[in-house]
């Protein structure tokens, strides 16, 4: 079984639509899902943005479902001009802006052998840096790239890989570039991705539009791109699952869940 950790619903929605025989469980206020896709049994959750949320969700996913490999899946910002918006990337190393030790991904632990992912826009030697806040300007991306040597940035991969490493599990990071190195994001986006309830997020969005009416159009364009990127991500996850070494019999067996005795 593969365990997949997403940060935001828009990252997970297209993948969830591919899964059959879905069952939902809850643990510590989070929803966890289990089902079958491409003949493989999977468990996944939407953790919320940021390292703390990702770390907590990954622990619960491992404890409740006993996956053989962990996948950190979602969007990332490009720090390298060669990585264009919409590209699928498979970083092989993750670092943190806070100074933690580098972690090799797609090879962490002994849980599952992860086959080569083949050629893609991002299948070379790529480092992803996980930070605490959304990097919203091209200038800040250039500074982060110069300081870290990373090619892309997110907020969750390091946390997920850390938990997987502690559990002795392989960890794969699959990211779709949501904004390229030259792109400035709407300044309001940082507040919208913070951990919060749906009502608070709606309130933040309405407040942003009230202060800057153009924000409505900017956020709509981001949403349109995110829906397309979610479909691209779902396809990439499906191709990874096809390569995993689970046997058909193992894939057909249900795992445990956070709320099962």
Domain ranges of the chain: 2-182+226-251
pLDDT score for 32 = 97
Per-residue pLDDT tens listing for the chain (261 residues):
999 999 999 999 999 999 999 999 999 989 999 999 988 999 999 998 899 999 999 999 999 999 999 999 999 999 999 999 999 999 999 999 877 899 999 855 444 444 445 435 545 689 999 999 888 899 999 999 999 999 999 999 999 999 999 999 999 999 999 999 998 876 656 555 555 455 555 455 445 555 655 656 666 567 688 889 999 999 999 999 988 754 333 333 333 333 432
Beta-bridged to residue 40, according to DSSP, are 37
75 contacts 11 by C-beta, under 8 angstroms: yes
Beta-bridged to residue 27, according to DSSP, are 30
Q: How would you label 107-123 residue by residue, b for 16+ Cβ within 10 Å and e otherwise?
A: ebbebbebeebeeebbb
152 contacts 158 by C-beta, under 8 angstroms: no
- The pairing of strands 40-46 and 127-130 is unpaired
Structure tokens at 111: 């849980």
pLDDT score for 106 = 80
96 contacts 158 by C-beta, under 8 angstroms: yes
pLDDT score for 183 = 86
15 contacts 56 by C-beta, under 8 angstroms: no
Asked if CATH classification 3.40.50.1580 holds for the domain at 2-182+226-251, the reply, yes or no, is yes
31 contacts 235 by C-beta, under 8 angstroms: no
The residue behind tokens 């580098």 is: 102
Give the CA distances from residue 25 to residues 35, 45, 59, in Å, rounded to whole numbers and listed in that order: 11, 10, 15
């Amino acid at each position: 079984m593969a365990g997949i950790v997403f940060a935001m619903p828009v990252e997970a929605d297209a993948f969830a639509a591919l899964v059959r025989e879905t069952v939902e469980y809850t643990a510590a206020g989070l929803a966890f899902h289990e089902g079958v896709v491409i003949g493989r049994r999977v468990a996944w959750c939407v953790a919320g943005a940021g390292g703390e949320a990702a770390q907590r969700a990954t622990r619960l996913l491992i404890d409740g479902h006993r996956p053989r490999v962990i996948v950190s899946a979602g969007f990332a910002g490009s720090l390298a001009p060669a990585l264009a918006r919409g590209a699928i990337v498979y970083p092989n190393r993750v670092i943190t802006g806070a100074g933690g030790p580098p972690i090799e991904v797609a090879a962490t632990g002994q849980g599952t052998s992860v086959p080569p992912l083949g050629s893609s826009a991002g299948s070379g030697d790529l480092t992803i840096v996980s930070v605490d806040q959304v990097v919203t300007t091209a200038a800040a991306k250039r500074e982060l790239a110069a300081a870290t040597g990373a090619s892309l940035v997110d907020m969750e991969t390091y946390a997920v890989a850390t938990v997987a490493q502690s559990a002795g599990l392989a960890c794969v990071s699959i990211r779709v570039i949501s904004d390229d190195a030259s792109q400035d994001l709407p300044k309001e986006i940082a507040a919208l991705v913070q951990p919060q309830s749906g009502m608070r997020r709606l309130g933040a969005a309405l407040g942003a539009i009230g202060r800057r009416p153009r924000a409505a159009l900017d956020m709509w364009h981001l949403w349109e791109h995110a829906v397309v990127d979610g479909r691209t991500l779902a396809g990439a996850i499906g191709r990874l699952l096809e390569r995993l070494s689970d046997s058909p019999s193992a894939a057909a067996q249900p795992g445990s869940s956070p709320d099962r005795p």
